[in-house]
Structure 1
Amino acid sequence: MFDNNTSMKGRVTVYSVPGCPHCIQAKTTLSKLGLPVCDVDLNKHKELRTRVNELTGHSTVPQIFFNNVYVGNNEDLQNLDPEHLELLVLSIREHPLPLDAPPVPEENSPDPEGELDGDRKEAGETAQSLMVRKHLNSVTGQRQCNEGCALFRLLEHVPNAALNSGETAACSPIKACDLSEALRSQILKLYSDHLSKDGKTVDYKAMSRSLYFERYCELAVKLQRVELLSLSREEKLAFFINIYNALVIHGNLHLGFPKNLWQRYRFFNYVSYLIGGEVFTLQDIENGVLRGNRKGVAQLLKPFSKNDPRLQVALPDVEPLIHFALNCGAKGCPPIKTYTPQDIDSQLCAAAEAFLENDESCMIDSGRREVKLSQIFKWYKADFGGTDEKLLDWVFDHMGASQKKRSLQALMSQGNVKVSYLPYDWSTNSTD
């Protein structure tokens, strides 16, 4: 099922004790899968027992994590559904170890008691200053540089190939709304030259040679040091929608368009920007920030754990209208536009109305008493109420005055309306 020779970016952490048969069986199974295992002996490292208990709710061994995903004990591992296991292995293969991964012993022994206390304090103050100025990040995800937070890295060393990394932004921390407007202006210039009039197709080849794209990439580096926590809801919506759509284009230019299920999984979980000192993938932006930290399609867990600093950026609730503003690079997606914080809700309602007017996204078959909708409504049905009845109510409320809306109203007034879903066009929106 798995290619054991494929290089892995993440790791499996196993908390065990010597001589435990369940631990041995679990590690044997993981070894056969060709997974990189970090075996933590809790007899030797007793200081980690309390933390492991807090993370898992169990004091028994083994306890197993795939990156930051808690799997359980040996029995849980052995009973994993094959498809679930395959996704977990894929996550280890494709995703570097996240900041909130479970703890492991430090490589170096602690200093003798009282030794280097002054140096430690000074180093902590320096690290805290660099973190505030968005030059440094905590490996453990903590926001304060206290004695329990000993590992840090420069942003350019974050283990994720963010498309705006490779150099450190030399600017001071920037307000997100200010940088957002500069980026939007540059994106508009790109779109005006390289988007079709209806916003549905992109001339990627010409865009890659554009001086405007070069300038956009220079601005994108400054996202590393942007301040996100001061954003209002409206500013956050416009900022992250615009960044998502630009990041998809940047990812397509850098990696090429994904052509199958697994390539799409990798693309949306890998293509990322460093924003405000944290890595945000396309999945993180859509499902973590804009959908209020909900599981996405084929996701096993919420994007942000309770200790993830990015959770502070997430909107408090899901925003259904974002589905008609985000463009993933496929022909089945809504048109590409840019958005402003001013009157953002009206802009999104207009995008939803235009989407529903299109017969490729919404069709009313009065004869069969059937409403055919885009697959977007199926994938994110929970965002639109979770039932066919609530979904149809939402669609009706967001339609513009038209014959289509009157036809839907007639069907709904009689009851017994069937909801089905139209095929989704995953082919690229490239003009080529």
Structure 2
Amino acid sequence: MLENDDFLGTVVVFSKVDCINSLKAKMLLRDLDINYIDVSLDKEEGALIELEKFVSGKVITPHIFFNERHIEGYQGLLEITKNEKEFESIIELIKMNKSPESAPHLALIDEKILQQKNRKDENQNNGNESDARRLHKEWIPTEYDKLVSMMRKANLIKDNRVSVTKTYRNSFKGEDFVSWIVRTKKIRRGEALELGQELVEKHFSEQFSKDGTVTFDPEMYYQLVDEGDSGPLNSGRPPTGDFTKNVGEFNELLRQLIEPIYDHILNEDRTRVHIERLEDNTDFKHYAALMREAVNLEIEHSTIEERLAFFTNCYNMQLLHITFKCGIPQTIWQRRRYHYSVYYKIGEHRYSLQSIFNGILRGNKKGYGMLWKPFGKEDQRRPFIIPDGEPLVHFAINTYMVTTPPIRAYSSKNVMEEMHKQAQELLESDSVLRIDSKKQIIHLSRLFKVYSHDFGSTTEAVLEWIIDAMKAGQKRDNLIKIYYLGKYTISYLSVDYTLNIIRDELL
């Protein structure tokens, strides 16, 4: 990791607000702890004229300058960072040399350089670390944090039922850990026992034993420290403030990031998730970094379509983010915790999965089994709800089950058309709607029963909504004929509650 507060030179990124590769380039620099000056071609007067001095032909962002050394595009930057020798020479360039006259010059760049110098002088005078550096040190995960994450993915940390009346929640058995770490890391049992001792001292708050000692024992169970109040899922490094606060523009960047993530982790019909493929996925790392910037979003200035697209994308990715970080849920209580207790901070407010789904997307309606609406009368998130809710979200949300709709990314500009098209495709499937014309039976997905009020106040209203949503064809004609004859029976299709998470074999 690099920290260039003390470097003499300057790194400058010429970017555009809606450019996904500009975002990726800045995220990559940030991952490497390289401070940079962001020059937006959309906002900074004279920026394009200055850049055209170094670029021939059409300008395609980003353009990155390490002093006078010019790198074109995100892929160009990525390739150079992979070439250790060349990258070290570039770092040495900005470390030892001030930005020369042959490098880009703008009033904004000069102003930022002066601000960085003043900040460095102030820190030296105070004899203290900068806030950003101190926060970064606190953010860096330890080796054992990663080990705990691996244990979750290996299903070692779970609710262990030891008798009819006793369950050790969020725990692991010592022997299971020893066997797993010996097998996966090829270490001796004695080393595994030492690692177990250090692990429980660092991460596990309770030892379930008769004597209450803190010695690691393979025959005992250990419980993870409660993470319920660990803060937002998108916390960590402080946001840079370099990215757009407009929800529509932010969602476009988000959409372009998550589409390749879905291509990498979803199966062919886009309904099942290979969750472990997120481990070394660069786009997922960029996504996590981008969501830290969501705390600066101005939700109050967004349109209904922008909120519909953004919060749908956010819900689907947040569910995967939770599963990746916390592990595949083993019980209904774990699933409930994921939906109610883990949250992102967006703008000035917290959003769990249920508050996004039931509060925002469904128009502040009570969820299944809930006794009250997500947002009370004084809740400051109420102005952001989708008025009356949008029924089409039921065909866009990852239900966490194998019967989930295909998982896709949605644009702010065309979200209604995209959701409607997906609904039409699903309504053509017998898994959502099956018509038995001979017996006059209409078989419906159970979502039309559980969430019937989202589609209409009566069965007739629900069927009319379905007819209006369907595309023209024989199936729609058959439904219309049965409906208007009025001699039909409604039956609800069975539900497969199996999780749609696929566990790749651990290497």
Which of 315, 325, 336 is the aligned partner of 1:244? 315
Unaligned stretches of 5+ in structure 1?
A: 1-92, 94-157
CA contact (8 A) 1:247 1:271 kept: no
Cα distance in 2 for partners of 1:214, 1:342 equals 26
Match of 2:233 in 1: 163
Describe the shift of the 1:343–1:211 C-alpha distance in structure 2 as closer, same or farther (beyond 3 A).
closer
1:254 pairs with 2:325 = yes
Structure 1 residue aligned with 2:393: 322
Q: Distance in 1 between matches of 2:393 and 2:301?
A: 21
Contact conserved, 2:275 with 2:502, CA < 8 A, in 1? Answer: yes
Mapped pair 1:225 → 2:296: yes
Deviation per CA, 1:339-395: give whole Å up to 9, x if none: 112132211111111111111111112232111111211111001112111111111
Q: Which protein shows a greater Rg?
A: 2
User: Is the Cα contact below 8 Å between 1:194 and 1:203 reproduced in 2?
Assistant: yes
Matches within 5 A, 1:22-421: 159=229, 161-171=231-241, 174-421=245-492
Q: 1:168-224 CA distances to partner (integer Å, 9 max, x unpaired)?
A: 323267222222221211101211222223211121111232111111111111112
CA distance in 2, matches of 1:303, 1:160: 22
2:234 and 2:362 map into 1 onto residues whose CA distance is: 24
What is the TM-score of this pair, normalised by structure 1?
0.61
**Which residue in 2 is equivalent to 1:99?**
none
Aligned length: 278
In the alignment, the residues of structure 1 paired with residue 386 and residue 264 of structure 2 have an alpha-carbon distance, to the nearest angstrom, of 33
Q: Is the 8 A contact 2:251 2:412 kept in 1?
A: no
Two-structure CA RMSD over aligned residues (Å): 2.2
Question: CA-to-partner distance for each residue in 1:274-307, whole Å, 9 max, x for gaps?
Answer: 1002110011111111111111111111111111
Distance in 2, Cα, partners of 1:343 & 1:210: 28
CA, structure 1 residues 367+263, in 2 after alignment: closer, same or farther (shift >3 Å)?
A: farther
Once residues 307 and 167 of structure 1 are traced to their aligned partners in structure 2, the CA distance between those partners, rounded to angstroms, is: 31
1:241 touches 1:322 (CA, 8 Å); kept in 2? yes
Deviation string for 1:382-426 (max 9, x for gaps)? 011121111111111111223221221221121122112112222
Three-state SS of the structure 1 residue aligned to 2:301 is coil
Counterpart code for 1:410: K
Amino acid at match of 2:234: N
Please report how far the alpha carbon of residue 159 of structure 1 lies from its aligned counterpart in structure 2 after TM superposition: 4.6
- The residue type paired with residue 412 of structure 2 is P
Alpha-carbon shift at residue 260 of structure 1 (Å): 4.1
Letter of the structure 2 residue corresponding to residue 169 of structure 1: P
For 1:219, what is the secondary structure of its paired residue? helix
Percent identity reads 36
Amino acid at match of 1:166: G
Higher mean C-alpha deviation, range 347-356 or range 401-410: 401-410
What SS does the corresponding residue of 1:174 show, helix, strand or coil?
A: coil
Q: 3-state DSSP class of the match of 2:366?
A: coil
State the AA in 1 paired with 2:421.
A
Residue by residue over 1:139-175, the C-alpha shift from the partner in whole angstroms, topping out at 9 and shown as x without a partner, is xxxxxxxxxxxxxxxxxxx956321023432326722
- Structure 1 window deviating more from structure 2 (316-325 vs 166-175): it is 166-175
Q: Deviations over 1:38-96 (max 9, x none)?
A: xxxxxxxxxxxxxxxxxxxxxxxxxxxxxxxxxxxxxxxxxxxxxxxxxxxxxxx9xxx
SS across alignment from 2:502: coil
CA distance in 2, matches of 1:294, 1:277: 22
Output the amino acid matched with 1:385: G
Following superposition, the deviation at residue 309 of structure 1 comes to 1.0
Counterpart amino acid of residue 417 in structure 1: Y
| Paired residues of 2:442 and 2:488 also in contact (CA < 8 A) | yes
User: SS at 1:309's partner residue?
Assistant: coil
**Contact map agreement 2:392 2:419 (CA 8 A) in 1:** yes
CA distance in 2 between counterparts of 1:319 and 1:310 reads 17
**Counterpart-to-counterpart distance in 2, 1:163 and 1:409:** 47
Task: Please say if residues 265 and 273 of structure 2, whose CA atoms lie closer than 8 Å, have aligned partners that are also in contact.
Answer: yes
Query: 1 CA distance for matches of 2:327 and 2:401?
Result: 12
Q: Which amino acid aligns with 1:431?
A: I
